[in-house]
């Protein structure tokens, strides 16, 4: 991911939508690089995409189900002694066995005949517009919506001053940034989902043949599920409400809606709860508590004391009857290192290893769908029902759409 520029991202985890061909800023930790970096990304997902990420759950009336996700990544500056091997030994209450393997992905060589900049043979110049709104309130603020014409964007014409500030995207260790790398979930693990009732609390140990041994203890478990509901207002606005989440540091919401389709020339609508014109990619990711506090001060993120937001009437009128909504609760972080970081550590200070554990909770609901608003506020059931192998989608011909637009393909 490039380090410069600004990014536009719409709920990639839910819609499979990527960046707008513009990269978010990647935050880098201060000081020299340790021998090993370990990151745990801890998520709770609820709403109609909860309970295993099955959208049919909404139709079955199980929109309140919650599932837990865990992503583990180990990056090292050292080479493995033999074939790369590493394991994360977890508390018994995680119910994943004695350990889970951190598998090193296979590096592939060779290149396709087609380059990433080639125009697809079936490329069709896009039509339609994307209307950008922001801010909680009965009515949209001045200067809204910002209109992006897909046909002009395909010609390289980007509206000026679209982004007001930067939200860092902290990528953590990756295969590209590490000499040796391991991750979970992976194809060699006996299980790739978090079991019902699993708990992170307790001692954790990471051991392998390409990094120092890493040990730390967690006292923060998975965050509770977000429970949200919506209600239409007589003035045309829509009330979005949620119950407070323990350990939340702030909240953020976005909406996608459409009248027709972008490929057929219809309007697509994107709204965010930010109190200023801000569509940074990091807003849909994990965000460090210090960054959340800054963004609250800048009116980009809602404070943890806020439990409601009114979606403006203009958004509802432009988006149509149903609006796909994502609500995020950013959570705490736990940082560890060996040796422990000293006070007033010098810039060149580099421990043998560092470990970071990031938390968040998010929920999804369809605003405007009769009877569905309260479903994401149902009882939490951590059933981890997601299947390990999702059905593979057949490759479709390139057609103009919001998904393609957000992937930078403009198709």
In tens, the pLDDT along 299-329 reads: 999 999 999 999 999 999 999 878 899 999 9
The predicted pLDDT at position 380 comes to 39
Integer Cα distance of 153 and 143 in angstroms: 20
Residue numbers of the domain that contains 193:
12-25+35-105+123-342+350-385
pLDDT higher than threshold 90 for residue 87: yes
Look at residue 191 and give its three-state secondary structure.
coil
pLDDT higher than threshold 70 for residue 126: no
Q: Are 9 and 403 in contact (CB under 8 A)?
A: no
Q: For the segment 17-54, what is each residue's pLDDT rounded down to a tens digit?
A: 333 333 333 344 445 689 999 999 999 999 876 544 44
DSSP code of residue 329: E
pLDDT higher than threshold 50 for residue 127: yes
pLDDT tier for residue 199 given thresholds of 50, 70 and 90: very high
Lowest mean per-residue pLDDT among 103-112, 114-123, 186-195, 331-340: 114-123
User: What is the b/e burial string over 264-278, where b = at least 16 CB atoms within 10 angstroms of the residue's CB?
Assistant: eeebbbbbbbbbebb
Q: Tell me the two tokens of residue 35.
A: 């021998």
Q: For the segment 262-291, what is each residue's pLDDT rounded down to a tens digit?
A: 445 678 999 999 999 888 778 999 999 999
pLDDT tier for residue 120 given thresholds of 50, 70 and 90: low
pLDDT higher than threshold 90 for residue 186: yes
User: What is the rounded average pLDDT of the residues 207-225?
Assistant: 97
pLDDT higher than threshold 50 for residue 259: yes
The predicted pLDDT at position 321 comes to 78
pLDDT tier for residue 390 given thresholds of 50, 70 and 90: very low
pLDDT tier for residue 59 given thresholds of 50, 70 and 90: very low
Averaged pLDDT score across all residues of the chain: 78
| Residue 249: count of CB within 10 angstroms of its CB | 24
Integer Cα distance of 160 and 143 in angstroms: 13
Q: Are 330 and 360 in contact (CB under 8 A)?
A: yes
The predicted pLDDT at position 118 comes to 52
Q: Both ends of the chain: CA-CA distance in Å?
A: 21
Q: For the segment 1-20, what is each residue's pLDDT rounded down to a tens digit?
A: 333 333 333 333 333 333 33
User: What is the rounded average pLDDT of the residues 254-260?
Assistant: 85
User: What is the rounded average pLDDT of the residues 247-269?
Assistant: 82
User: What is the rounded average pLDDT of the residues 329-355?
Assistant: 90
pLDDT tier for residue 239 given thresholds of 50, 70 and 90: very high
Q: Tell me the two tokens of residue 273.
A: 């709860």
> Which range has highest mean pLDDT (187-191, 216-220, 347-351)?
216-220
Lowest mean per-residue pLDDT among 128-137, 149-158, 266-275: 149-158
Query: Kind of pairing, strands 353-367 and 323-338?
Result: antiparallel
The predicted pLDDT at position 244 comes to 97
The predicted pLDDT at position 267 comes to 86
DSSP code of residue 68: E
In a domain, 39, yes or no: yes
The predicted pLDDT at position 373 comes to 39
In a domain, 114, yes or no: no
In a domain, 402, yes or no: no
Q: Which residue has the higher pLDDT, 207 or 370?
A: 207
The predicted pLDDT at position 279 comes to 84
Q: Are 229 and 377 in contact (CB under 8 A)?
A: yes
The predicted pLDDT at position 24 comes to 36
In a domain, 182, yes or no: yes
- Give the position of tokens 């679209």: 162
pLDDT higher than threshold 60 for residue 146: yes
In a domain, 404, yes or no: no
Q: Where are the beta strands (DSSP E) in 306-389?
A: 308-311, 323-338, 353-367
The predicted pLDDT at position 133 comes to 96
In a domain, 396, yes or no: no
Non-local (6+) Cβ contacts of 199 within 8 A are: 91, 93, 94, 221, 222
The predicted pLDDT at position 65 comes to 75
| Residue 201: count of CB within 10 angstroms of its CB | 14
CA angle in degrees (0–180, nearest 5) for 28-29-32: 110
pLDDT higher than threshold 60 for residue 201: yes
pLDDT tier for residue 296 given thresholds of 50, 70 and 90: very high
| Sheet architecture: strand order including 238-242 | 228-232, 238-242, 308-311
Number of domains in the chain: 1
| Residue 293: count of CB within 10 angstroms of its CB | 15
Integer Cα distance of 126 and 402 in angstroms: 10
Q: Which is nearest to 202 in space by CA: 337, 352, 95?
A: 95
In a domain, 403, yes or no: no
Lowest mean per-residue pLDDT among 17-26, 76-85, 164-173, 376-385: 17-26
The percentage of the chain sitting over the pLDDT mark of 90, rounded to a whole number, equals: 54
In a domain, 91, yes or no: yes
Q: For the segment 345-365, what is each residue's pLDDT rounded down to a tens digit?
A: 777 788 999 999 999 999 999
């Amino acid at each position: 991911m490039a380090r410069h520029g600004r990014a536009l991202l719409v709920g990639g985890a839910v819609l499979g939508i990527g960046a707008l061909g513009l990269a978010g800023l990647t935050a880098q930790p201060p000081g020299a690089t340790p021998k090993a970096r370990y990151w745990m990304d801890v998520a709770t997902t609820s709403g109609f995409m909860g309970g295993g990420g099955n959208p049919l759950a909404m139709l079955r009336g199980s929109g309140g189900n919650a599932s837990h996700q865990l992503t583990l990544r180990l990056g090292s500056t050292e080479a493995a002694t033999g074939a790369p091997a590493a394991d994360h030994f977890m508390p018994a209450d995680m119910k994943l066995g004695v350990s889970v393997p951190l598998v090193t992905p296979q590096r592939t060589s060779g290149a396709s005949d087609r380059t990433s900049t080639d125009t697809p043979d079936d490329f069709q110049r896009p039509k339609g517009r994307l209307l950008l709104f922001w801010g909680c309130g009965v009515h949209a603020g001045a200067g809204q919506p910002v209109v992006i014409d897909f046909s002009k964007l395909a010609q390289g014409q980007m509206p000026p001053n679209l982004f007001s500030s930067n939200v860092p995207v902290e990528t953590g260790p990756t295969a590209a940034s590490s000499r040796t790398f391991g991750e979970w979930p992976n194809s060699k693990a006996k299980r790739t989902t978090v079991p019902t009732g699993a708990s992170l609390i307790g001692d954790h140990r990471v051991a392998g043949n390409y990094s120092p041994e890493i040990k730390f203890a967690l006292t923060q478990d998975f965050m509770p599920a977000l429970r949200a509901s919506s209600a239409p207002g007589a003035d045309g606005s829509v009330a979005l409400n949620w119950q407070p989440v323990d350990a939340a540091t702030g909240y953020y919401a976005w909406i996608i809606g459409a009248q027709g389709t972008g490929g057929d020339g219809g309007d697509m609508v994107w709204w965010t709860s930010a109190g200023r014109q801000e569509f940074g990619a990091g807003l849909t990711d994990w965000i460090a508590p210090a960054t959340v506090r800054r963004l609250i001060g800048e009116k980009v993120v809602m404070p943890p004391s806020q439990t409601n937001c009114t979606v403006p009437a203009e958004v509802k009128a432009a988006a149509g009857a149903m609006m796909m909504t994502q609500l995020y609760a950013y959570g705490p972080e736990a940082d560890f290192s060996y040796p422990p970081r000293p006070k007033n550590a010098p810039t060149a200070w580099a421990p043998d290893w560092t470990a970071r554990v990031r938390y968040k909770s998010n929920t999804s609901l369809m605003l405007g769908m009769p009877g569905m608003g309260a479903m994401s506020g149902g009882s939490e059931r951590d059933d981890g029902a997601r299947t390990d192998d999702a059905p593979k989608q057949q490759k479709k011909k390139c057609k103009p759409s919001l998904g393609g637009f957000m992937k930078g393909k403009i198709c």
